[in-house]
Amino acid sequence: MTVLILLPVGSRYETKDIGGLSHFIEHMMFKGTEKRPTSLDISKELDGIGAEFNAFTSKDYTGYYIKSSADKVELAFDILSDMLFHSKIDEAELNKERGVIVEEINMYEDNPLMYIESLFEELIFGDHPLGWQIAGTRDVIKTVPREKMMKYFEHYYQSANMIIAVAGNIKETQVKKLANNYFGRLGKRDFKKFSDFKETQADSRVVVSFKETEQVQLCLGFPGVSYFDKEIYALQILSIILGGNMSSRLFVNIREKYGLCYFIRASAEIFHDAGTFVVHAGLDKSRIQDAIKLIIKELKDVRDAGVTEKELQSAKDFLKGKVDLRLEDSESLADWFGKQELFYGKLLTPEEKLERFMKVTTKDILDVAKKIIDPKKFNLALIGPFKDKKEFEDILKLET
């Protein structure tokens, strides 16, 4: 059984002077309440029932969950509501956590496999909240006053803004009763609108971050689509065909045929009003130019010629199998329905959602490939032992 609380607030709701507050608040929710004064009191109570518990912050939302046996559902509601409504956000604990988050930022930036995605999104979105790091900057984390955190927290952390998703061997009547008992204090549903992103890219872009590594981390891609774009289904299937599994075009041709990488994948990242479509790979630094040219060739081929019926059917079968496996787990099931309510305000069953994917045609794939894979909108981010980005700009000009 999983109880998941989602709040439609993330790092894109922030301004520069409070960048990272959504993530900072997530940390502080585990630092103690009046009823459970320390983080140890919270963790010991949950460990005592063998529960899994965690939280996450994205650019569009924040979530908290407890996964336990179904007979502990009331305790899960009690602890989550206690944390979200009664956390002390103690000044001394807050100041200690500043160092923890700075070290989290250091860890993230020291890991090219993780940090390359931030560099790529900064390249796509620029100096817009979608282009900022979720954890914020060291300067803000070290200095942001508690008063600003409390104002932000009290504005967004109202139960009227919360979505409660429960999955498992639980009756609906019991869930409704618990939700009313523990989250019935509605408060205000008063959201500050986030800043919309307007995509205006007209030329290719390159960013290179120098680091003495043996393997080069690369992200190569384009502006994508939003949660509300009708082409979302075709683009996600295209990502599977290009780089979603070990029989995908990129995996077979870049890794298996030429041995240029250890891993390579294609994916569509989706937000309220924007998105990205990206190829991410860890590549042999001595043959990086060859790898970039081959990746671009695969992208151009699918843009110009589309995909086969056999590839399309295989991708649909793969997707269906992954969904079936994922929804065996209560945590994934809660996440599935919670995020649909969060973004769309309505629920589709897995069968209804899969039906939309099954309707995608080869023409739909070709249309979305022609729309997204635009030579004028190539974005290339690299982390590796390179100090000059000109050679990579020249490759993009030559190949596109």
Condensed to tens digits (0 to 9), the pLDDT of residues 191-213 reads: 567 889 999 999 999 999 999 99
User: Whole-structure pTM over 0.85, yes or no?
Assistant: yes
383-396 mean pLDDT: 94
Number of neighbours of residue 205 by Cβ within 10 angstroms: 17
26 is catalytic: yes
Quote the CA–CA distance of 99 and 126 in Å, as a whole number: 27
pLDDT of residue 164 exceeding 70: yes
Task: Tell me which of 26, 97, 117, 231 is the catalytic residue.
Answer: 26
User: pLDDT tens for residues 295-354?
Assistant: 999 999 999 999 999 999 999 999 999 999 999 999 999 999 999 999 988 898 889 999
- 73-79: average pLDDT: 98
What are the chain's domains?
2-183 (3.30.830.10), 205-399 (3.30.830.10)
Distance CA 41, CA 137 (A): 30
* pLDDT, tens only, 110-134: 999 999 999 999 999 999 999 999 9
70: Cβ contacts below 8 Å, ≥ 6 apart: 1, 168, 169, 170
pLDDT at residue 294 greater than cutoff 90:
yes
The Cβ of residue 96 has, within 10 Å, a number of other Cβ atoms equal to 11
DSSP string, 25-56: HHHHTTS-BSSS-SHHHHHHHHHTTT-EEEEE
